[in-house]
Structure 1
Amino acid sequence: MHNKLLAMTLACSALAVASAPIIADAQPHRHKVWVCRNESSRGARNTGTVVGAVTGGLLGNAVSHGGGKTGGTLIGAGVGAVAGHQIAKNNGKRCGYEWR
């Protein structure tokens, strides 16, 4: 009986010692991190580019005078395309805090 008690005590002690590092590692140091993910799809960026180009072309045509209407339309379309692409790209970002 005494041997069984001694064997059980040793087994429990060995288990406690073996599991101590696991318990310590189970609770890592965690902190908040600001994370941004780009969830914008290529289709959304292309749509933004087209909408921006059309809108910019119309505005460029409206504000140009006389014989410079073609140039105003082309410059407005170029600026609008770049602006529309950037706006669509930045609207696809999802930012927030995560625990890591």
Structure 2
Amino acid sequence: MRHKFIATTILAGSTLIAAAAPAIAAAQPHRHRVEVCETSRGARNTGTAVGAVTGGLLGNALSHGGGKTGGTILGAGAGAVAGHEIAKHNAKRHCHWEWRRD
């Protein structure tokens, strides 16, 4: 008689836990792993400055006559964009994984 009571109690308890499990799981927010990568801004700023100076010098050297100022300005602008993109591409990325919730 005693074993039958214990068996019935365990069966009833496990049934209640099994019935409550989906409700408990639904109450928990979904978590997922996300890779977060960062690059340093200093490298991009340096690349932009070096590109602007180099482009300005090259634009000045290639232009002639009264268009030296315009060549310098255009060369500096193009060099700044190119230097920034090159530095951004070559910058070291620091990546790590984070857990996030929906």
Place the TM-score, normalised by the shorter chain, in its bin.
0.5 to 0.7
Report the aligned-residue RMSD: 3.7
1:54-84 per-residue CA deviation (whole Å, 9 max, x = no partner) reads 2211221232113322321122112211332
- State the shift of 1:6 in Å: 1.9
Matched, 1:65 2:57: no
- The runs of 5 or more residues in structure 1 that have no matched partner are 27-34, 95-100
Partner Cα distance (2:4, 2:87) in 1? 72
Which amino acid letter does the alignment assign opposite residue 50 of structure 1? Answer: A
TM-score normalised to structure 2 length: 0.54
Task: Check whether the contact 1:44–1:88 (CA below 8 A) recurs between aligned residues.
Answer: yes
Query: What is the DSSP-based 3-state SS (H/G/I as helix, E as strand, rest coil) of the residue aligned with 2:58?
Result: helix
Partner of 2:9: 10
Partner Cα distance (1:13, 1:73) in 2? 85
- State the shift of 1:18 in Å: 0.9
Task: Check whether the contact 1:40–1:88 (CA below 8 A) recurs between aligned residues.
Answer: no
Runs of 4+ aligned residues of structure 1 deviating over 6 Å after TM superposition are: none
TM-score normalised to structure 1 length: 0.55
Partner of 1:45: 44
Query: What is the DSSP-based 3-state SS (H/G/I as helix, E as strand, rest coil) of the residue aligned with 2:39?
Result: coil
1:17-49 per-residue CA deviation (whole Å, 9 max, x = no partner) reads 4146648x87xxxxxxxx885522221221121
Partner Cα distance (2:69, 2:75) in 1? 10
Partner Cα distance (2:20, 2:79) in 1? 60
Partner of 2:31: none
Partner of 1:31: none
- The count of residues paired between Structure 1 and Structure 2 equals 85
